[in-house]
Amino acid sequence: MNRRDFTSTLASATAALALPRAVRAGTPAAAPSPLVNGVRLNSHLAALSEFGRNPQGGVTRLAYSDADRAARAYVTRLMREAKLDVSVDAGANILGRRAGTDAALKPILFGSHIDSVPEGGNYDGDVGSLGAIEVAQTLSDAAIVTKHPLEVVVFQNEEGGLWGSHAMTADLTAEELSTPSRSGKTIREGIAFLGGDPDKLARDRRRRGDYHAYLELHIEQGATLERERINIGVVEGIVGIRQWEVTVDGFANHAGTTAMLERHDALLAAARLIEAVNRIVLGTSGRQVGTVGRIQAFPGAPNVIPGKVVCSLELRDLDARKIAVLFARIESEAKKIGEQNGTTISFKQVTENVPAPTDPRIRALIVAVSRELELTFRMMPSGAGHDAQDVAQICPVGMIFVPSAEGISHAPKEFSHPKDIENGANVLLHTLLKVDAAPLAP
Ligand code: GLV
Ligand code: MN
Ligand code: MN
């Protein structure tokens, strides 16, 4: 599908959800104060973009790489400047604490991530992480002390499968810890590389009731807000994501002497599988998406019939049952494809992130703050995964989106306007202050 087709599909899918249209603020009240320093925030974003910078723009800052570690040191310095008490938990998440007036209250957690996909952009995760630090800095500058303690978090390895928030909110198994990451290190090695302690994860594991709430500011990563000229997205829910490693076993043989009908070509079977994934996912109404984003053929020579292929499969939807149904169809189609040319296709699940609704009370507070700041807003789902979906397992969560230019993300051309970023950080700040005053039950 080309970009235009994709956009119109998204538009009709959004219309089908009958989401409320943009709402303009009512009677202007006195501007809320304090406000974040947008120039400072955007200059911090520019400085962060130097870590893992690519010549074509954007960054490759894979979790557990040297660039990741150096960027974390920079972010730690910003957190200290914002008078946060910084530590790294056992899962290698960076935490910056600030005391509240009532130490008996549970902390409010807020932040995002700073690792990137290969050849990614400068905004995904960075806006929410540096936005959270800017909020802490603004509170410090204005000498405002909240009732609840505050914790700014920079989660590790969001892009590889929400590993930092998994480690914080669930027990990682030995098998999960030995999962390889894109950096070449396993999750266990990566956690140690970043200063965590994979043998002490239980010590820092958080449970339901340990936090008052979690807030995350993020770029939309789609084109809805820009197309509708809306300032703020109030996220209603985050899609579930399941990823598999798919192995196709065939038989490597001479590409010149093996007749076409005698081949067990693993790459041909993989190509048919990719087409089937697309057909099956498109064959049901709804917003579900399915992607094969990585593929490798072995032995990988022009004159050898591929004997083995390893590729990825990813399915996303707001409904976990729908993902399960789609996967069952893909598995059964894979069996038929294998039978056609004497190959076998097997699936090993590598990650599962459950779908998560955001807390309706926090959504209402984001709406109230948007009105106060005279920003337009709309409700919307998140098609991208976020650490917020893990944290939703232990406390109420809210997510604030700001527009992404042309809806481009996970790419060097990812861009959000400085003013939109400043708006989002102000919404984060004032939502935080309202959440501080709100009696949210866990
Ligand atoms: C995270 O960025 C994801 O949606 O893959
Ligand atoms: Mn992100
Ligand atoms: Mn991302």
Report residue 437's pLDDT band, with 50, 70 and 90 as the boundaries. Answer: very high
Reply yes or no on whether the pLDDT at 280 is more than 90: yes
Ligand 1 atom with the shortest distance to the CA of 384: 4
Which residues are found with C-beta within 5 Å of the ion, ligand 3? 124
pLDDT at 372 over 70: yes
Predicted local confidence at residue 440, as pLDDT: 78
From ligand 1's centre to the CA of 336, what distance in Å?
31
pLDDT interval class at 428 (50, 70, 90): very high
Q: Which atom of ligand 1 is nearest to the CA of 410?
A: 2
The span from the CA of 390 to the CA of 406, in Å, is 28
CB-count exposure of residue 269 (10 Å: 0-12, 13-18, 19+):
buried
Q: Is 75 helix (H, G, I), strand (E, B) or coil?
A: helix
Helix axes 66-81, 126-141, angle to 10 degrees: 20
140-196 pLDDT, tens digit per residue, is: 999 999 999 999 999 999 999 999 999 999 999 999 999 999 999 999 999 999 999
In contact, 326 and 281? CB cutoff 8 Å = yes
pLDDT digits (tens, 9 = 90+) for 110-132: 999 999 999 999 999 999 999 99
Q: Which atom of ligand 1 is nearest to the CA of 385?
A: 4
Which ligand has the shortest distance to the CA of 113? 2
Ligand 2 centre distance from Cα of residue 287 (Å): 20
Ligand nearest to the CA of 155: 2
pLDDT > 70 fraction of the chain, expressed in percent and rounded: 93
Whether the predicted pLDDT of 4 surpasses 50: no
Cα 242 to ligand 3 centre (Å): 15
Pocket of ligand 1 (CB under 6 A): 159, 384-385
Compute the mean pLDDT over every residue in the chain, rounded to the nearest whole number. Answer: 93
For residue 388, the ligand closest to its alpha carbon is 2
How large is the average pLDDT for residues 33-40?
A: 98
Average pLDDT over residues 379-407: 97
Q: Which ligand is nearest to the CA of 384?
A: 1
| Atom 1 of ligand 1, residue of closest alpha carbon | 385
The answer on pLDDT for 15 being more than 60 is: no
Q: What is the pLDDT of residue 9?
A: 31
pLDDT digits (tens, 9 = 90+) for 182-201: 999 999 999 999 999 999 99
Residue 5 has pLDDT above 70, yes or no: no
What is the Å distance from ligand 3's center to 110 Cα? 17
- Is the predicted pLDDT of residue 14 greater than 70, yes or no? no
In the predicted model, is pLDDT for residue 84 greater than 80?
yes
pTM for the structure as a whole: 0.86
Ligand 1 centroid to residue 408 C-alpha, Å: 13
pLDDT attached to residue 442: 55
pLDDT of residue 438: 84
The single-letter DSSP state of residue 259 is: -
CA of 114 to the centre of ligand 3 (A): 9
Distance (Å, rounded) from C-alpha 215 to C-alpha 63? 22
